[in-house]
């Protein structure tokens, strides 16, 4: 991403108003202030105001990230040793899926983040998956082939020693409320103006653009460009500008979550755990001071009370004293993420349920895309159109990857899982991926053909499909040779590499 001025023809400051101070609002404020600061922007300074209701509060979940969050903090120049302790954060190298595919004989598998070291093992993994697709019995356990799978299994911190020649990818678990507070303080240091206020109405220009935000306290906040970060209610883009919301309810059934913290785990894992339950799945996110838990489910198949009871049983805690909170989720995306002089970010722009913890990733990549698009050509309609196409596509491709988790399940304990397995609302892109896989075609070539590598790449798709055991029955004749996992001595290679990584524990970096 380049840091330069968004428009270069006006000496007056561009006034950007961000409505909402959840994680999305503060991430946007920090990135915009960093990339469009006065230092970077000799011709036209940017003046950012963030207004937030002190009463409404934030959604307060969203505690797992993808590796892109590392780039966010690098961009801001904030070391892990500063932000991680402030947010009770831990490292995340992988997501472990338990009980999603018992019918295939696989009870657990990992989806590790892909590290540079895996260039040695991705090909053997592909070949073994292909061999297994032919009915031959070879190792296709994703966590064996990918280095982060080893880090997760042996609970090693991904902090890479200075002399280790490969880059290791990882994300984080964190307390989202503390992250918001941390980003708020940092934004103040970057010169972002903060206002507490309840937006009561939105004022418009004759051409329909937003002119200002009226607060219940009697203030009017005027601006040139507005960013809607007001959460699921989307006060600006959806409520005021009437941009329609395109629901994904046809292919993603979950619309509720019940959350409940429990004490910290003694031996901190470096992965998120996602366990399939009767009508959805439960996450376990390890922080330094507590464990975040939640059950994501569909209200069409289970009611809130039964879901809360099932979560408590799963966590082995007493429901009467549990700190339970139920949330409603609006799964889908807006028809246009940027309309007129308003951009929506975070829950206002859409939400894909949290199975792969992609929400903040989508916030960050949307802001980065916005900065790049505007840097390239300003705030005009052409830029708007291009941005909307790219962001919509990103939402759809992330949705497809999540949908595949449900489509491929082999559980038979409830109508919910059967309905998911029989779901026929699949995108053309997903149908083609599954078709290539089952026809024993070249999945890597298909992912490349569809240009999906920047969303979930070929190795991630191999992890998912192999992890669910989406293979034909084993052939009657097994030559018993040709397992590249053994031939390439991957176990010896990864065990050797593992010796460079510290035992369990929490060791944030000092510098980036």
Ligand X SMILES: Cc1cc2nc3c(=O)[nH]c(=O)nc-3n(C[C@H](O)[C@H](O)[C@H](O)COP(=O)(O)OP(=O)(O)OC[C@H]3O[C@@H](n4cnc5c(N)ncnc54)[C@H](O)[C@@H]3O)c2cc1C
Q: Which residues bind ligand X (CB under 6 A)?
A: 20-25, 51-53, 56-59, 61-65, 176, 198-199, 229-231, 233, 235, 257, 294, 327, 329, 346-348, 354, 357, 359-360
Q: How far apart are CA 133 and CA 130, in angstroms?
A: 5
The per-residue DSSP string of 190-213 comes to TT-EEEE--EEEEEE-TTS-EEEE
Instruction: Give min distance, CB of 93 to ligand X, in A.
Output: 15
Quick one: 3 or 193, whose CB is closer to ligand X?
193
3-class state of residue 16 by DSSP: strand
Q: How far apart are CA 15 and CA 500, in angstroms?
A: 49
Tell me the two tokens of residue 386: 């291009």
Quick one: 63 or 118, whose CB is closer to ligand X?
63
Quick one: 64 or 223, whose CB is closer to ligand X?
64
What element of type H or E holds 373? helix 359-377
Cβ 142 vs Cβ 110: under 8 Å: yes
Instruction: Give min distance, CB of 173 to ligand X, in A.
Output: 8
The per-residue DSSP string of 97-119 comes to EEEEEGGGTEEEEEEEPP-GGGG
Question: Crossing angle, helix 122-133 and helix 458-467, to 10 degrees?
Answer: 40
8: DSSP letter: S
Instruction: Give min distance, CB of 163 to ligand X, in A.
Output: 33
Q: How far apart are CA 97 and CA 109, in angstroms?
A: 5
Q: How far apart are CA 437 and CA 129, in angstroms?
A: 10
Instruction: Give min distance, CB of 356 to ligand X, in A.
Output: 9
Instruction: Give min distance, CB of 316 to ligand X, in A.
Output: 21
347: DSSP letter: G
Instruction: Give min distance, CB of 285 to ligand X, in A.
Output: 7
Q: Which residues touch 368 (CB under 8 Å, ≥6 apart)?
A: 1, 31
Bridge partners (DSSP) listed for residue 79 = none
Quick one: 101 or 358, whose CB is closer to ligand X?
358
Quick one: 312 or 447, whose CB is closer to ligand X?
312
Q: How far apart are CA 158 and CA 116, in angstroms?
A: 13
- Print the SS3 string covering 396-456: HHHHHHHHHHHHCCCCCCCHHHHHHHCCCCCCHHHHHHHHHHHCCCCHHHHHHHCCCCCCC
Tell me the two tokens of residue 448: 């490349």
Q: How far apart are CA 255 and CA 354, in angstroms?
A: 11
Tell me the two tokens of residue 183: 């980003």
Instruction: Give min distance, CB of 62 to ligand X, in A.
Output: 3
Instruction: Give min distance, CB of 386 to ligand X, in A.
Output: 23
Quick one: 296 or 436, whose CB is closer to ligand X?
296
Instruction: Give min distance, CB of 258 to ligand X, in A.
Output: 9
Instruction: Give min distance, CB of 215 to ligand X, in A.
Output: 7
Quick one: 117 or 210, whose CB is closer to ligand X?
210
Quick one: 22 or 143, whose CB is closer to ligand X?
22
Can you point out the beta strands (E) in 278-408?
280-286, 290-297, 325-328, 332-334, 338-339, 342-344, 350-351
Instruction: Give min distance, CB of 324 to ligand X, in A.
Output: 13
Tell me the two tokens of residue 241: 């500008």
Q: Which has the closest alpha carbon to 299: 274, 326, 259, 276?
A: 326
Quick one: 5 or 23, whose CB is closer to ligand X?
23
Quick one: 260 or 484, whose CB is closer to ligand X?
260
Instruction: Give min distance, CB of 448 to ligand X, in A.
Output: 27
Cβ 274 vs Cβ 98: under 8 Å: yes
Quick one: 19 or 470, whose CB is closer to ligand X?
19
Q: How far apart are CA 336 and CA 384, in angstroms?
A: 9
Quick one: 50 or 436, whose CB is closer to ligand X?
50
């Amino acid at each position: 991403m380049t840091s330069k001025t968004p428009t270069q023809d006006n000496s007056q400051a561009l006034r950007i108003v961000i409505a909402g101070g959840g994680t999305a609002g503060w991430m946007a404020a920090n990135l915009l202030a960093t990339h469009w600061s006065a230092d970077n922007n000799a011709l036209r300074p940017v003046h950012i105001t963030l207004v937030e209701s002190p009463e409404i509060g934030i959604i307060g979940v969203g505690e797992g990230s993808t590796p892109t969050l590392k780039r966010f903090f690098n961009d801001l120049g904030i070391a892990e040793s500063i932000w991680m302790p402030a947010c009770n954060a831990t490292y995340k190298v992988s997501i472990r899926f338990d009980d999603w595919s018992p019918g295939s004989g696989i009870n657990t598998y990992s989806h590790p983040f892909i590290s540079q070291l895996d260039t040695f093992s991705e090909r053997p993994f592909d070949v073994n998956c292909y061999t297994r697709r032919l009915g031959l019995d070879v190792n296709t356990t994703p966590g064996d082939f990918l280095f982060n799978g080893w880090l997760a299994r042996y609970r090693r911190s991904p902090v890479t020693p200075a002399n280790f020649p490969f880059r290791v990818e990882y994300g984080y678990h964190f307390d989202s409320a503390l992250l918001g507070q941390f980003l708020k303080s940092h934004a103040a240091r970057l010169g972002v103006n903060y206002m507490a206020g309840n937006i009561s109405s939105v004022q418009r220009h004759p051409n329909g653009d937003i002119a200002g935000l009226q607060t219940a306290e009697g203030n009017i906040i005027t601006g040139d460009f507005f960013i809607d970060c007001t959460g699921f209610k989307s006060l600006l883009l959806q409520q005021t500008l009437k941009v329609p919301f395109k629901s994904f309810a046809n292919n993603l059934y979950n619309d509720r979550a019940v959350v409940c913290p429990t004490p910290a785990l003694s031996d901190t894992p470096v992965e998120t755990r996602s366990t399939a339950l009767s009508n959805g799945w439960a996450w376990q996110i390890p922080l330094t001071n507590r464990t975040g838990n939640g059950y994501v489910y569909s209200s069409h198949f289970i009611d809130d009370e039964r879901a809360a009871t099932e979560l408590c049983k799963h966590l082995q805690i007493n429901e009467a004293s549990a700190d339970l909170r139920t949330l409603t989720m609006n799964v889908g995306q807006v028809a246009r993420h940027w309309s007129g002089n308003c951009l929506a970010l975070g829950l206002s722009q859409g939400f894909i349920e949290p199975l792969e913890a992609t929400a903040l990733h989508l916030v960050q990549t949307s802001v980065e895309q916005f900065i790049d698009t505007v840097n390239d050509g300003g705030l005009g309609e052409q830029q708007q159109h291009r941005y909307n196409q790219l962001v919509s596509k990103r939402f759809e491709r992330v949705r497809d990857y999540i949908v595949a988790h449900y489509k491929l399940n082999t559980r038979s304990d409830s109508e919910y899982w059967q309905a998911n397995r029989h779901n026929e609302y699949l995108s053309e892109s997903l149908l083609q991926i599954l078709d290539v896989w089952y026809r024993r075609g070249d999945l890597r070539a298909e992912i490349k053909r569809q240009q999906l590598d920047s969303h979930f790449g070929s190795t991630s798709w191999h992890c998912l499909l192999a992890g669910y055991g989406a293979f034909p029955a084993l052939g009657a004749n097994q030559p018993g040779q040709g397992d590249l996992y053994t031939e390439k001595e991957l176990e010896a290679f990864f065990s050797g590499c593992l010796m460079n990584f510290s035992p369990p524990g929490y060791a944030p970096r000092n510098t980036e």
